[in-house]
Amino acid sequence: MKLVGASPTAEISNKVRALTAAGHSVINLGEGELDFATPEAICEAGIAAIRDGDTKYTAVAGTAELKAAIQRKFARENSLSYEPSEIIAGAGAKQLIFNALLATLASGDEVIVPAPYWVSYPDMIRLAGGEPVIVQCSAAESWKLTPAALSAALTPQTKWVILNSPNNPTGAVYSNAEMKALTDVLLGHDGVLIMADDIYEHVRFEGEFATPAAIEPALKARVLTVNGLSKGYSMTGWRLGYAAGPAWLIEAMQVLQSQSTSNPSSISQRAAIAALDGGIGFMADWIETLRQRRDIVLAALGKIDGLHADTPEGAFYVFADCSKLLGTARPDGRVISSDLEFASYLLETAHVGVVHGSAFGAPGHVRIAYAVDTETLRTACDRIVDACAKLH
Q: Which stretch binds ligand PLP (CB under 6 A): 91-99, 214-222, 295-303, 354-362?
A: 91-99
CB of 224 to ligand PLP, least distance (A): 13
Nearer CB in complex with ligand PLP: 90/130 = 90
Q: Which stretch binds ligand PLP (CB under 6 A): 154-162, 177-185, 201-209, 228-236?
A: 228-236
Nearer CB in complex with ligand PLP: 264/325 = 264
Secondary structure in 3-state letters for the chain: CCCCCCCHHHHHHHHHHHHHHCCCCCEECCCCCCCCCCCHHHHHHHHHHHHCCCCCCCCCCCCHHHHHHHHHHHHHHHCCCCCHHHEEEECCHHHHHHHHHHHHCCCCCEEEEEECCCCHHHHHHHHCCCEEEEEECCHHHCCCCCHHHHHHHCCCCEEEEEEECCCCCCCCCCCHHHHHHHHHHHHCCCCCEEEEECCCCCCECCCCCCCHHHHCHHHHHHEEEEEECCCCCCCHHHCCEEEECCHHHHHHHHHHHHCCCCCCCHHHHHHHHHHHHCCCCCHHHHHHHHHHHHHHHHHHHHCCCCCECCCCCECCEEEEECHHHCCCECCCCCECCCHHHHHHHHHHHHCEECEEHHHHCCCCEEEEECCCCHHHHHHHHHHHHHHHHCCC
Nearer CB in complex with ligand PLP: 201/339 = 201
Per CB under 6 A, 236 contacts ligand PLP: yes
Per CB under 6 A, 228 contacts ligand PLP: yes
Per CB under 6 A, 92 contacts ligand PLP: yes
Per CB under 6 A, 7 contacts ligand PLP: no
Amino acid 146 reads T
CB of 315 to ligand PLP, least distance (A): 8
Which residues inside 181-220 make contact with ligand PLP, applying CB under 6 A? Answer: 197, 199
Per CB under 6 A, 111 contacts ligand PLP: no
Per CB under 6 A, 160 contacts ligand PLP: no
Nearer CB in complex with ligand PLP: 94/294 = 94
Q: Among 26, 29, 80, 94, which residue interacts with ligand PLP (rule: CB under 6 A)? A: 94
Per CB under 6 A, 349 contacts ligand PLP: no
Which residues inside 162-181 make contact with ligand PLP, applying CB under 6 A? Answer: 164, 168
Q: Which stretch binds ligand PLP (CB under 6 A): 43-51, 89-97, 131-139, 258-266?
A: 89-97
Q: Among 241, 264, 314, 361, which residue interacts with ligand PLP (rule: CB under 6 A)? A: 241
Per CB under 6 A, 28 contacts ligand PLP: no
- Give the residues lining the site for ligand PLP (CB under 6 A): 32, 92-94, 118, 164, 168, 197, 199, 228, 230, 236, 241
